[in-house]
Amino acid sequence: MTGIEARPPTGTGNGNGGEPGTYPNRFRASGVKARHLRAHVLVVAWLAAALLAVAAQGTLPVAQWLAVHMFLLGAVTTAILIWSEHFAVALLHAKVPDARWSAARLGTANLAVAGLIVGMWTASPALTAVFATLLAAAAVAHLVMLIRLGRGALGGRLKPIVAYYRVATAALIAGVVLGGLLAAGGAGGPDRYAGLRLAHIHVTLLGWIGLPVLGTLFMLWPTVLGVRMKDRTTKVSRWVLWLTGGGLLVAVVALALGWRWPAAAGLALYVEGAALTVNLLARTVRGNRAVSAAAAWTLAAATCWLLIVVVTDLAWLVVRPLAAAQTGIDRLLPVLLIGFVAQILIGALTYLLPVVLSSGPRDRAAERAVLERGWPTRLVALNAGVALAALPLPGPAVTAGMLLAVLAGAAFLVPAVAVLVRSGLARSRNAGTDSASQRPAVWGTAAGAVLIVLAVLVANSGGDTDNPAVASATGGGATTATRTVDVTLAAMRIHPARIEIAAGTVLRLRITNDDAQRHDLKVQDGPATPMLAKGDTRVLDIGPVTGNREAWCTLPGHKAAGMTMDIVVKGHDTAKDSGGHEGHASAADNAGPDLSADFSTGWHARDADLAPAPGGTVHKVELRAAHTTVEVAPGTRQQMWTFGGTAPGPTLRGKVGDVFEITLVNDDTGMGHGIDFHAGALAPDKPMRTLDPGERLVYRFRAEKAGAWLYHCSTTPMLQHIGNGMYGAVVIDPPGLAKVDHEYLLVSSALYLGTPGSTAQVTKMRRNTPDAWAFNGIANQYAQQPLKVKAGERARFWVVAAGPSDGVAFHIVGTVFDTVYKEGAHLLKPGQPGGAQVLDLAPAQGGFVETTFPEAGHYAFVDHDMRRAEAGAHGMVEVSE
C-alpha cells in the first residue's frame, strides 16, 4: 500500500512496474514542485475571490456572474490547465514541456481571466473582447502543447485519456467564443440569446470541465481506491470519448442554432457515455481499504451529481422549448457547480496535493491527514446542502441548502491553505537565505497592490454618483462629450424616463434590470440588449446622438404599460414647456411621472389626520393666494397655484351654526384670484369677486348645514385655477357625530404637469388627460408613507372630490364600510344589515365613510377607477397589532 502511495497517481494503473520509474523523478524535481505550489496558490486565491463574490451577491448586480466565473474560469480552469498537462506528460511518458512556456500559458490564462472579470465588472466591451481573445489564445497554446506532447512520445496504455484533454481544450475555445458573443450582446433576439447561452453553458461545463474529469477518473479512481485498473478501461475510455465528445458537439451546435431535438439527441449520447463511465467505475470497486477514503467518497458523490444533472438537463430539453427550459436548467447550475465541479476539485486535490507537494512518504501522510481533517462531516454537509437546493422545496430551504453546501465546500480551503503554506514554508527553509531575504518585501508589495486594486474597483462600482430622475448630460462646448447613464428597469418603468443631452454627445447606457421579470431595452434606430434577468446589467453604446430618440422594452405590452424612455437632445423641441404644439405632448408626458421612484430626501407626506373642530363658534382664518413649487409626484416638482401655500389649501372645520371669517389676500403677481366656499349661502357678487394682486377681502359665512364641502378659486378659467391647485375642504360636523379612533381627510384631485397655463398643460385639462391623480395633492404619497392604524380600531375617512373634472370612487381594499355619509345625509348607519364598498363623489361633492380594520395588514385605499388608481390615486393603511 505504501508503495502505491509513494508513486504518482498513474503508477498503479500501468501495472508494469519498471516503466513508471522513469518519470516520477522528473516530477519530484523541485522546479516542478514549486510551480505546482504557485499554481495551487492561484487556484485557492480564485476560490476565495469567488466566495467573496458570493457574499456580495445582494449588493453587486454582476456578483452572480462574477462568482460563477471566478470559480469556473479562475479556479477550475487553472486547475484543469495544470493537471491536464501533468497527466498528459505522465500518460504519454513524454518529456516535461519547457517550464517557462508552461508558466507563460498559465500566467496568460490567469491574466486573461482577471481581465475578463474586470471587463465585465466595469461593463467595458472592448476590455472584455481583448481578454476573451487572450484567453482563447492561451487555450490554443495549451491545445498545441497537448498535441505536440503526443508526437514521438512512447505512449502508455492510457494514452486515449489525453484525447479527452484535447477535446476539452477545443470545448474551452468554443466556450470562450460563445461567451464573447453573449457579452457583446450581438446575439440577436431573445430566443437566439437563450440558445447561445445554453450552448455556452453546455460546452464549458460538460465539455471543458466534464470531459477531463471523466477521462481522468478512468485512471484516478483505481489509484485512489488502490486497486488494479480493469483491462477493458482503454477500450471503454475510447468509446466514452466518442459518445460524450460527439454528443456534446451535436448538442452545442444544435443549441446555438436553436434546434431543440438534435440538442436533446446529442445530450442523450453524452448521458450514455457518462453512464458507461460510471458503470465501469462502479465495477472497479473492491472490498479493500482505499488509499484515500475521503478522496474516493468525494469523487464518487461528485460523479453521481454529474449524472443526475445531465439526466435532468436532458429531461428539461425534452419537455420544454429552449427559452422555457432555460429556467429549469438555470436551477441545475448551483447543483452542478457545487455538487459536481467543486466536489470533484475537492476530491481530486485531497488525493493529488500531497502527491505533488510532499517531499517523502511521511510528509505525504502528514499532508493527507491535514487535507482529510473532518472529511465525513464536510462530505455529508455538502451533499445534503446540494440535495436540499436541488429538490423543489420552498425558497428558505433552498437558500439554507446552498449556504450549507457553500460553507462545507469553503471549509476545504482551510486545510488546503494550511498544506500550501506548510509546503511553501518547507521550501523557503530549504532555499538559500540570500534569495529569500528580498522575497517577503516583493510578496508583501504584490499583496498590498492587489488589495488596493480590489478596493478601487469596489469603490468605483455602482456607476455614476449623480442619478436624478432626469439625467442631464451636457457636453462642454464644441467637443463631443461621452456620457454614461445608469438606467434601471423596475416596476414596469424605465428610470430615468428622460435623458437630456447636448447634440452630438456620445451616449452609453448601462442598463440594469431590477425587476423580478425579464426585460430588455431597445433604442430606436439603435442597438438592443438581450433579455435581462433580475440583476443583469448590459451596456449599450448608442454612439453620437443628434436627434431625439426613444427607447423601450420589446416584450409584448411592456411599452404600452409605460416602459419607455426619451432621449432628448437639448435645444430640440421638448414639448413640455413649449406652447406651440397643441396636442403633441411628448411621450414622457404621456407616460406620466415615474411613480415607482423615491421622493427626494427630506420629503414628507401631507398629514392626512383631520383635527377635531376648534372650540368657539367664530373661526377666523387668513388665506394667501400665491405660486408655490411642490413635489407633486416622486421626483417631480411642479409649480402650483395655492391657497395658504399648499394644494389642497388649509382645511377648515366647525360645527353647524359656526361662523367663518376668512381674510383672503392675493399675494400673486400678475394674476387675479377669488374664493368660493360651498359651505355657506350668500350672494356671490361681492365675496366671490376676483381680487387683483395685492388686494384683500373678508369673506364671512355661517355654516348652516353639515357636510364635507369644497372651496375653490372663483376666478375664471376655473378649470385652470382648480386644476393648478386652488381648492380645499371645509368640514362641518353633523350633530351627534360619534367619536372614532382616527379621522382622516383625503381630497382627491387630478394633476396636470407642465408650466401652469401653458397651451400644452391647458390642452391636457381640456381633454381630461391628467398626468396623474392624487389624494391630498401628491400622487402616491400615502403609498410611500402609509397611514398607521392598530387592528380593531375604527377610522373615519372624509373625502372631498376637488376635480377639476373627475370625481372619485373611494374604496379601501379589504374593508367593508358600515357607515356612509354623502352630501349631507347618512346613506348607511352601523346598525343596518347592509354594507358599502365605495363612496362615489361627483366633482365637488363630499362625504365620509367609516370602517373597522379587522386585523393587522396592509389595506390599500384607492380611487376604484383603476386608471386613476394606477396613476397615483392610491395609498396605504398600515394596520399593526
Partner 1 sequence: MDTVGWWSFVRFAHVAGAALWVGGQLALSLVVLPLARRLLAPEAKDSFTAAAGRRFGMLTGAVFLPVQLATGWAMAWHKGVTWASLAEPGYGRTLATKLALFAVVMLAAACHGIAHARGRADLARALATVSLVGSLGVVLLATALPTT
Please choose, out of 381-389, 454-462, 540-548, 698-706, the segment that lies near partner 1 by the rule CB under 8 A: 454-462
Q: Between 59 and 98, how does the x/- string for binding to partner 1 read (CB under 8 A)?
A: x---------------------------------------
Please choose, out of 140-148, 256-264, 463-471, 610-618, the segment that lies near partner 1 by the rule CB under 8 A: 463-471
| Interatomic CA distance for residues 178 and 301, integer angstroms | 30
Kindly tell me which of 242 and 443 has the beta carbon lying closer to partner 1. 443
Kindly tell me which of 189 and 440 has the beta carbon lying closer to partner 1. 440
| Interatomic CA distance for residues 488 and 537, integer angstroms | 9
Of 667, 373, 243, 330, which is closest to residue 531 (Cα–Cα)?
330
In the complex, minimum distance from the CB of residue 600 to partner 1, in angstroms, rounded to a whole number: 15
In the complex, minimum distance from the CB of residue 81 to partner 1, in angstroms, rounded to a whole number: 27
Binding of partner 1 by 614 (CB under 8 A): no
Kindly tell me which of 466 and 685 has the beta carbon lying closer to partner 1. 466
| Interatomic CA distance for residues 810 and 839, integer angstroms | 5
| Neighbouring-strand partners of residue 643 | 625, 646
Cell 462629450 belongs to 481
In the complex, minimum distance from the CB of residue 59 to partner 1, in angstroms, rounded to a whole number: 6
Binding of partner 1 by 391 (CB under 8 A): no
Please choose, out of 124-132, 370-378, 461-469, 472-480, the segment that lies near partner 1 by the rule CB under 8 A: 461-469
| Interatomic CA distance for residues 774 and 858, integer angstroms | 19
In the complex, minimum distance from the CB of residue 39 to partner 1, in angstroms, rounded to a whole number: 20
| Interatomic CA distance for residues 826 and 866, integer angstroms | 26
In the complex, minimum distance from the CB of residue 432 to partner 1, in angstroms, rounded to a whole number: 13
In the complex, minimum distance from the CB of residue 421 to partner 1, in angstroms, rounded to a whole number: 9
Q: Which of residues 91-130 bind partner 1 (CB under 8 A)?
A: none
Which of 115, 155, 328, 463 forms a contact with partner 1 (CB under 8 A)? Answer: 463
Number of residues that bind partner 1 (CB under 8 A): 23
Indicate the SS3 state at residue 151: coil
Kindly tell me which of 457 and 791 has the beta carbon lying closer to partner 1. 457
Binding of partner 1 by 324 (CB under 8 A): no
In the complex, minimum distance from the CB of residue 461 to partner 1, in angstroms, rounded to a whole number: 7
Please choose, out of 94-102, 452-460, 802-810, 835-843, the segment that lies near partner 1 by the rule CB under 8 A: 452-460
Kindly tell me which of 283 and 439 has the beta carbon lying closer to partner 1. 439
Sheet holding 636-643, edge to edge: 636-643, 618-633, 659-666, 696-702
In the complex, minimum distance from the CB of residue 462 to partner 1, in angstroms, rounded to a whole number: 2
| Interatomic CA distance for residues 555 and 549, integer angstroms | 19
Q: How many CA atoms lie within 13 A of 563 on its CB side?
A: 23
Q: Letter for the amino acid at 179?
A: G
In the complex, minimum distance from the CB of residue 563 to partner 1, in angstroms, rounded to a whole number: 24
Please say whether the beta carbons of 105 and 141 come within 8 A. yes
Kindly tell me which of 432 and 571 has the beta carbon lying closer to partner 1. 432
Cα–Cα separations (whole angstroms), residue 363 to 294, 347, 358, 371, 392? 18, 19, 6, 12, 45
Which of 459, 516, 560, 683 forms a contact with partner 1 (CB under 8 A)? Answer: 459
Binding of partner 1 by 600 (CB under 8 A): no
Q: Which of residues 422-451 bind partner 1 (CB under 8 A)?
A: 428, 436, 439-441, 443-445, 447-449, 451
Kindly tell me which of 101 and 443 has the beta carbon lying closer to partner 1. 443
- In sequence order, what are the residues at sequence separation of 6 or more whose Cβ sits closer than 8 angstroms to the Cβ of residue 442? none
371's grid cell: 487535507
| Neighbouring-strand partners of residue 481 | none
Q: What Rg do the C-alpha atoms of the chain give, in angstroms? A: 37
Binding of partner 1 by 484 (CB under 8 A): no
Binding of partner 1 by 468 (CB under 8 A): no
Please state the length of the chain.
881
DSSP string, 152-195: T----TTTHHHHHHHHHHHHHHHHHHHHHHHHHTTT-SHHHHHH
In the complex, minimum distance from the CB of residue 56 to partner 1, in angstroms, rounded to a whole number: 11
Which of 29, 55, 257, 455 forms a contact with partner 1 (CB under 8 A)? Answer: 455
The distance in angstroms from the start CA to the end CA of the chain is 70
In the complex, minimum distance from the CB of residue 438 to partner 1, in angstroms, rounded to a whole number: 10
565: left (phi over 0), alpha (psi -120 to 50) or beta: beta
In the complex, minimum distance from the CB of residue 539 to partner 1, in angstroms, rounded to a whole number: 16
Binding of partner 1 by 535 (CB under 8 A): no
Binding of partner 1 by 458 (CB under 8 A): yes
Kindly tell me which of 152 and 440 has the beta carbon lying closer to partner 1. 440
| Interatomic CA distance for residues 564 and 487, integer angstroms | 11
Binding of partner 1 by 399 (CB under 8 A): no
| Neighbouring-strand partners of residue 708 | 731
Which of 152, 361, 462, 834 forms a contact with partner 1 (CB under 8 A)? Answer: 462
Kindly tell me which of 104 and 452 has the beta carbon lying closer to partner 1. 452
Kindly tell me which of 464 and 582 has the beta carbon lying closer to partner 1. 464
Backbone φ and ψ of 619, nearest 5°: -115, 120
| Residue 279 burial (CB count, 10 A) | 11
**Pseudo-torsion of CA 855, 818, 777, 759, nearest 10°?**
130
Cα–Cα separations (whole angstroms), residue 668 to 88, 503, 547, 626, 756? 89, 38, 39, 5, 14
Q: Between 23 and 62, how does the x/- string for binding to partner 1 read (CB under 8 A)?
A: ------------------------------------x---
Cα–Cα separations (whole angstroms), residue 261 to 258, 266, 329, 332? 9, 9, 16, 20
Kindly tell me which of 324 and 455 has the beta carbon lying closer to partner 1. 455
In the complex, minimum distance from the CB of residue 497 to partner 1, in angstroms, rounded to a whole number: 21
| Neighbouring-strand partners of residue 773 | 750
Kindly tell me which of 144 and 456 has the beta carbon lying closer to partner 1. 456
- In sequence order, what are the residues at sequence separation of 6 or more whose Cβ sits closer than 8 angstroms to the Cβ of residue 232? 280
Of 784, 846, 640, 654, which is closest to residue 724 (Cα–Cα)?
640
Binding of partner 1 by 452 (CB under 8 A): yes
Please choose, out of 129-137, 332-340, 458-466, 529-537, the segment that lies near partner 1 by the rule CB under 8 A: 458-466
Footprint of partner 1 (CB under 8 A): 59, 428, 436, 439-441, 443-445, 447-449, 451-452, 455-456, 458-459, 461-465
